[in-house]
Amino acid sequence: MAGNVWLLKNANLIDGVGDGRVEGMNVLVDGKFVKEVSDKAIKSTGNAIDLKGKTLMPGLIDCHTHVTVTQIAQAEQALLPDSLIAARAAAIMRGQIMRGFTTVRDAGGADSGLRRAVEDGLFLGPRLVICGQALSQSGGHADYRTCCDPRGAEWVTGRLGSIGRICDGEAEVRFAVREEIRHGAQFIKVMANGGISTPNDPIKFLQFSRVELLAIVEEVSNAQTYAAAHLYTDEAILRAIECGIRSVEHGSLVTPQTARRMVELGVFAVPTLVVYEAISKHGAQYGFPDYAISKIGDMASMGPTTLSVLNAAGVPMAFGTDCGGELHQYQSEEFVLRGRVLPAMDVIKSATSVAARLLRMEGQVGCIAPGAFADMIVVDGNPLSDLSLLTGQGRHLPLIMKEGSIVKNTLTT
């Protein structure tokens, strides 16, 4: 239905930018874009849909996902054929858009081929913003080799089932950034701290030297983009942002002092609470390694504190989930977890206008305004009163639209 004209009438509008829900709004869609938003009647010969007071919102944005992480056992996945990973990723992306996510930022793994497949309509899924393969030092958070693994660092590079590539030293990291950008990366992801799912790097490990981080930041700046970094500990966060990292992924152990420094430097945070809860509850049954489960420790319980610290400092927080493999189904539960600490409007903005700012796509996504992409969802009920309406695999979303094309419509006339 791309290219059609749609008139969405009688909506209770949450536009993703303002601070409330406005009743009795009308939105005109022409082709891929929003043409008009008004509290007055809009004349149109297009297809009219009466929303009868349902909530109309921008399509949701997840700023930390991994569409190619198709199974929990990532070391085994890295050896699977690219064609199989692509087929599995197609199913994951379909699930995401049916939950209302019309844009996602992939934080390691997805390539320009997957992005093109979505753009060409071969795969049904959200708009992909990609970093290609994340950068990892040897023994870092994208290095799944065990201590006795004889394979060289090159075994993961370029494989669709691998979230990262291994590079060491200033020359190698510069080359890696340039190669990922040549292959279509729109930003760069750096593994700058220890992680949960990898075998050789305790959470407190600092990864990459300052020289390497500064080289990465210089290269992304030269390419007119930015670097995001996997970070947990306060020491790692402060070091990375002082080197020029613009987006702190996870940030679970941040202190108030460092959060204030993030504000001074214009840094975003992308907390990912749901992944820790999902691993704690379901990881073992899906084969998450014992060493990884033991690393979670207090991470799951730290979520509320992390949100409170970042919020008190005024750090802009974008919505992120980090679910992989069998845990993708819990993606939308992030709304509920954040809603226990933050106002519902702030949580919704994290997945709309704040996320759009991080993506440098303000006015294009994350809002319902003239000139923006016609990415919209309709909600049965008021998510400002009940954020769980955004969960349930999209069961409360009778209409989903991406770029003016209706992906789902169960509304009765």
Question: Which CATH number belongs to the domain containing residue 54 in this structure?
Answer: 2.30.40.10
For residue 156, pLDDT over 60 is answered with: yes
Q: Tell me the average pLDDT across 92-98.
A: 98
Name the band, by pLDDT with cuts 50, 70 and 90, for residue 357: very high
For residue 386, pLDDT over 90 is answered with: yes
Separation CA 191–CA 208 (nearest Å):
8
Name the band, by pLDDT with cuts 50, 70 and 90, for residue 171: very high
For residue 387, pLDDT over 80 is answered with: yes
> Per the domain annotation, does 215 fall within a domain?
yes
Domain that holds residue 238: 60-331
223: its two tokens: 């390419």
Most confident range, picked from 38-47, 134-143, 194-203, 259-268 = 259-268
For residue 89, pLDDT over 60 is answered with: yes
25: its two tokens: 């709004």
Separation CA 374–CA 372 (nearest Å):
6
AA identity, residue 208: F
For residue 256, pLDDT over 90 is answered with: yes
Residues 227 and 320 in one domain: yes
AA identity, residue 18: G
Of 68-77, 254-263, 343-352, the least confident = 68-77
pLDDT at 1: 39
Q: Which one is predicted more confidently, 155 or 58?
A: 58
2: its two tokens: 């791309």
pLDDT at 74: 78
Residue that terminates a domain, selected from 284, 314, 331: 331
Q: Which one is predicted more confidently, 288 or 87?
A: 87
Residue that terminates a domain, selected from 280, 307, 331: 331
Residue that terminates a domain, selected from 285, 314, 331: 331
Longest dimension (CA), the chain: 70
Residues 184 and 254 in one domain: yes
Q: What dihedral angle (degrees, nearest 10) is formed by the CA atoms of 204, 309, 383, 129?
A: -50
For residue 3, pLDDT over 60 is answered with: no
Residues 47 and 82 in one domain: no
Query: What digits encode the pLDDT tens for the residues 197-243?
Result: 877 888 999 999 999 999 999 999 999 999 999 999 999 999 999 99
Distance from the first to the final alpha carbon of the chain: 18
> Per the domain annotation, does 358 fall within a domain?
no
Query: What digits encode the pLDDT tens for the residues 12-68?
Result: 999 999 999 999 999 999 999 999 999 999 999 889 999 999 999 999 999 999 999
Residues 93 and 160 in one domain: yes
Residues 325 and 380 in one domain: no
Residues 43 and 70 in one domain: no
Residues 250 and 122 in one domain: yes
DSSP assigned state of 282: I
For residue 126, pLDDT over 70 is answered with: yes
Query: What digits encode the pLDDT tens for the residues 312-328?
Result: 999 999 999 999 999 99
Residues 241 and 321 in one domain: yes
pLDDT at 210: 98
> Per the domain annotation, does 158 fall within a domain?
yes
pLDDT at 20: 93
For residue 358, pLDDT over 80 is answered with: yes
Kindly report the CATH number assigned to the domain that includes residue 224.
Answer: 3.20.20.140
Residues 54 and 91 in one domain: no
pLDDT at 2: 43
For residue 122, pLDDT over 50 is answered with: yes
Percent of the chain with pLDDT over 70: 99
> Per the domain annotation, does 229 fall within a domain?
yes
pTM score: 0.96
DSSP assigned state of 281: I
Residues 50 and 105 in one domain: no
> Per the domain annotation, does 342 fall within a domain?
no
Residues 53 and 81 in one domain: no
> Per the domain annotation, does 257 fall within a domain?
yes
Q: Which one is predicted more confidently, 77 or 170?
A: 170
> Per the domain annotation, does 323 fall within a domain?
yes
Average pLDDT, the chain: 94
With beta carbons less than 8 A apart as the criterion, state whether 318 and 63 touch.
yes
pLDDT at 143: 86
For residue 152, pLDDT over 90 is answered with: no
Q: Could you give phi then psi for residue 13, rounded to 5 degrees?
A: -95, 125
Q: Could you give the number of structural domains in the chain?
A: 2
Name the band, by pLDDT with cuts 50, 70 and 90, for residue 413: low
Residues 86 and 26 in one domain: no
> Per the domain annotation, does 234 fall within a domain?
yes
